Structure 1
């Protein structure tokens, strides 16, 4: 593949992947305003975020096998159309219950853009090349958490929180145009011959019996759960507890997101030098140490916003080394069922994040400690799973990564 085409594919896939998260990140500065407008408490407003993650988890097992059977593009069209229709409904919602239902439908549509681009990466590459493409995809994807909160703050200032949903509707329409004009089919007809509903169910059976695959998936899932906990709680902590304006909050959020996606660009280079497995093990260990330090600081009575933002900036960068790399390693041996494997990976990541968010939500009081406890807990579980998955099995995986380099 020529370098310009490599970057073009990363751009297209990254933008498609970002549409769903854009509907999360633009939405974050609006959470307090939505609660006031719809007369809903913090828990109910957070539920409108949680159900979006649950829908992302529920939708991906559908899109993955379908993309193996009919190709990658048709389910992308379907998902973005559903996303656009639900977004219009969210913009018109007049109570929190309606908003929650429509956010679930919106998440079902967004699930297509989460599951299928990873399968396209696996269609095209494996090993360090896949890590490079996945990291470039993440770089484009970073447009969402870096710019979306700022854009959301601007939209809210001009058009109120409902304007956020009109904006993401336009993003979905742009995504449809992008699929039609810039994405070629990477699952040609001759590769779909063996794909059917029965083969999809069989593939899920294979994946669920593959302990190594599941271990890698859950390492990334629990690392990502800390990020999801921050998503759900940071606006209340930074805006209500520390007194930041929505715009300044958006800048702070974007800086930490930039750390994640900036660090991810080193995955290919670090993988070539040290092996992808060693990258994961080192980054997970360091992230766990940083998160525990943050938790102990707040547990012992600390309350500095700068400590929170500084330590999370470091942890975000380390997660940028973990999450794309574990995805590449998990899909490495499952190219024939890449759509299904990617869908299950995404589903388990979203479910893990939603469960952790819901648990932390039970203790949320607007202060940093419950949020930090959830983030640290996710990092420690990821560390334990890394030891179990890549400890005794590390030699075999390193050999696989080395052959792919």
Structure 2
């Protein structure tokens, strides 16, 4: 494969992965408007975010075995179609319950992009380049959370919140066309892969037996939980507590998201000199420190736009450094059933995001404390996951050395 072909694949996969951030971030600025029109609270509207996370979680468990059995491309096209139809449905709802249900099905379709793009990266690139490729993809997909809230804010003001879902449907249609015409099939059908429930569960169980996978997946899951604890509560904190309007919120949120992209790109450079484990460890330590600082700021009533933006900026900068390394370390051991492995990884990530946002909604007390407490807690859990994964990776490497020596 030529370098240009590699770059084109990375760009396309980044656009595919960008569907997820657009789906979550673009309608954030519309939360107050949706709540007002549907006659519910912002916290109730936030459950549509949780239902999306649940759909992403379950959808990946469905889609992983599908791409192992039928190849990557055709299942991806079908699920993008489902995403488009559900997006159109979201634009027509008249109740928050309808929005919650359709966001779930939107996520089922959109989750295929997350599973397929990671599997394709594992198909196409060698294991020692995975973290670097994931970081490069983040540069492409990272544009989405930077511009999505701003675009959403302008759409809400100019055309109403329902138009947001038409924009999402149009973007997914564009991606579907690009996939159809320009994305090559990286792995064909595998008739040895069974879709019977018992066989699927057996494959999942065998993957979960890999303890290094469990540890690094926990890191990735806590990374996602930290991101979405912030995303789900940012509209309330910035607009209700700090008084920003929809458009200003979009710019502020986008600036915070930009630090995520900067962190991911610094990670590409750091990988030339340090291991993924080392970079993730240092990122998690700084992330935990920022989480504690956020709790202190809120607890002692020092919350301001400047303090929140600066601490969140460093926090998201660390998330950008951690995410690509955690994903690469988690899927590195697998060459078969890659779709199922990436599905488990992604479902744990989105499951953690759903739980984090739901916890924040459940403990809503009219302050930013639920958000910052979750953001701090997940960093410490991530450190435990990194220790567990690294410890079992080292044990596995030692066992491989013993076996190799015995062969001689």
TM-score tier after normalising by the smaller chain length? over 0.9
- The separation in 2 between residues aligned to 1:112 and 1:93, in whole angstroms, is 24
Aligned position for 1:403: none
Q: Give secondary structure in 1 for the equivalent of 2:379.
A: helix
Aligned position for 1:121: 121
Q: CA deviation at 1:289?
A: 1.4
User: Given that residues 22 and 148 in structure 2 are in contact (C-alpha distance below 8 angstroms), is that contact kept between their aligned partners in structure 1?
Assistant: yes
Map 1:113-262 → 2, pairs under 5 A: 113-189=113-189, 192-197=190-195, 200-262=200-262
Deviations 1:332-363 (A, max 9, x none): 11121111100110001111111121112112
User: Which runs of 4 or more aligned residues in structure 1 lie more than 4 Å from their structure 2 counterparts after TM superposition?
Assistant: 391-400
- The separation in 1 between residues aligned to 2:308 and 2:360, in whole angstroms, is 17
User: Given that residues 119 and 339 in structure 1 are in contact (C-alpha distance below 8 angstroms), is that contact kept between their aligned partners in structure 2?
Assistant: yes
Aligned position for 1:278: 278
Q: CA deviation at 1:280?
A: 1.3
User: Given that residues 71 and 185 in structure 1 are in contact (C-alpha distance below 8 angstroms), is that contact kept between their aligned partners in structure 2?
Assistant: yes
Q: Give secondary structure in 1 for the equivalent of 2:337.
A: helix
User: Given that residues 128 and 271 in structure 1 are in contact (C-alpha distance below 8 angstroms), is that contact kept between their aligned partners in structure 2?
Assistant: no
Deviations 1:3-27 (A, max 9, x none): 2222111110011111132121111
Aligned position for 1:20: 20
- The separation in 2 between residues aligned to 1:397 and 1:228, in whole angstroms, is 34
User: Given that residues 7 and 136 in structure 1 are in contact (C-alpha distance below 8 angstroms), is that contact kept between their aligned partners in structure 2?
Assistant: no
Q: Give secondary structure in 1 for the equivalent of 2:273.
A: helix
- The separation in 1 between residues aligned to 2:10 and 2:393, in whole angstroms, is 31
Q: CA deviation at 1:216?
A: 0.4
Map 1:269-348 → 2, pairs under 5 A: 269-348=269-348
User: Given that residues 123 and 186 in structure 2 are in contact (C-alpha distance below 8 angstroms), is that contact kept between their aligned partners in structure 1?
Assistant: yes
Uncovered stretches (5+) of structure 2, i.e. residues with no partner: 401-408
Q: CA deviation at 1:269?
A: 3.0
- The separation in 2 between residues aligned to 1:32 and 1:365, in whole angstroms, is 17
Query: How many equivalent residue pairs?
Result: 398
Task: State the TM-score, normalized to the length of structure 2.
Answer: 0.93
Instruction: Indicate the RMSD between aligned Cα atoms, in angstroms.
Output: 1.8
- The separation in 1 between residues aligned to 2:394 and 2:357, in whole angstroms, is 31
- The separation in 1 between residues aligned to 2:395 and 2:68, in whole angstroms, is 31
Uncovered stretches (5+) of structure 1, i.e. residues with no partner: 401-405
- The separation in 2 between residues aligned to 1:4 and 1:366, in whole angstroms, is 51
Q: CA deviation at 1:374?
A: 1.2
1:386 and 2:399 aligned: no
Q: CA deviation at 1:391?
A: 4.5
Q: CA deviation at 1:397?
A: 6.5
Q: Higher mean Cα deviation, 172-181 or 31-40? A: 172-181
Map 1:57-96 → 2, pairs under 5 A: 57-96=57-96
Q: CA deviation at 1:328?
A: 0.7
**Alignment CA distance shift 1:25-1:398 (3 Å):** farther
Q: CA deviation at 1:194?
A: 2.6
Q: CA deviation at 1:384?
A: 2.2
Task: State the TM-score, normalized to the length of structure 1.
Answer: 0.94
